[in-house]
Chains A and B, each alone.
Chain A
Amino acid sequence: GAGVSQSPSNKVTEKGKDVELRCDPISGHTALYWYRQRLGQGLEFLIYFQGNSAPDKSGLPSDRFSAERTGESVSTLTIQRTQQEDSAVYLCASSTALALTGELFFGEGSRLTVL
């Protein structure tokens, strides 16, 4: 596609429910990142996918968080048993670069509100 596409743009859920967020990167981009941004805060790294390599999951805050990516296409971030502190904007970004980090292209984000 023309840009990174994320869905849903907004999600309101009740505490304890599971949510799934989707990211469709720019076609041909091998690298895909998920970041979390709480209101008024910076970008917190969650997970990084690079081609068919094992993902870097070092930023996932708990085992309630997981992400998958099939090849170099769509990625889904799943949050199980959501908590109020999970409320944030979840940003996905993709990039073409391999060894040398290149420019990240961000999606518009998925705003999650946990009641």
Chain B
Amino acid sequence: GQQVMQIPQYQHVQEGEDFTTYCNSSTTLSNIQWYKQRPGGHPVFLIQLVKSGEVKKQKRLTFQFGEAKKNSSLHITATQTTDVGTYFCAVKLNSGYSTLTFGKGTMLLVSP
């Protein structure tokens, strides 16, 4: 059935290195959201992308929505230890249906 795939599942980087997580869908998406969950915490909304090819930046974070609206990426430049956590993408798989389906997440570990 329809689902969203997120890769990688896990990444360990040295502080200062870059990090990217990808979210892929087999169907066209109306929009995509990204959330961050710190260890022991709850997911916190980062951003929503709606337009084809959209790129949004938040300080060291860059979010992209693919031209076909089937994939998205979150890139972190020069990671810091505060970036540690699990990053989830979330999509609405069915048109006119508001249930948000979350990807399995990418766990990021940053070593100082």
Residues on A lying within 8 angstroms of B by beta carbon are: 31, 33, 35, 41-43, 45, 48, 50, 56, 58-59, 91, 93, 97-109
Contact = CB atoms under 8 A, between A and B. Distances in A.
Contacts of A109: 42
Interface stretch (B52-60, B61-69, B73-81, B95-103): B95-103
A59 B100 CA distance: 11
B45 A103 contact: yes
Size bracket, chain B contacts? 20 to 34
6 contacts: A43-B102, A45-B100, A48-B99, A50-B98, A59-B99, A93-B43
B102 A35 contact: yes
A45 B99 CA distance: 8
B92 A42 contact: no
A74 B97 CA distance: 22
Interface of B: 30-31, 33, 35, 41-45, 48, 88, 90, 92, 96-105
Contacts of A93: 43
A44 B30 CA distance: 21
Nearest to A4: B42
Given A100-B31, A101-B31, A101-B33, A106 B43 contact: yes
A34 to B, nearest CB: 11
B90, B92, B98, B105, most chain A CB atoms within 10 A: B98
B104 A41 contact: yes
A104 B100 contact: yes
Q: Return the 5 tightest CB-CB contacts between A and B, nearest first.
A: A42-B104, A43-B102, A106-B42, A103-B45, A101-B92
B103 A101 contact: no
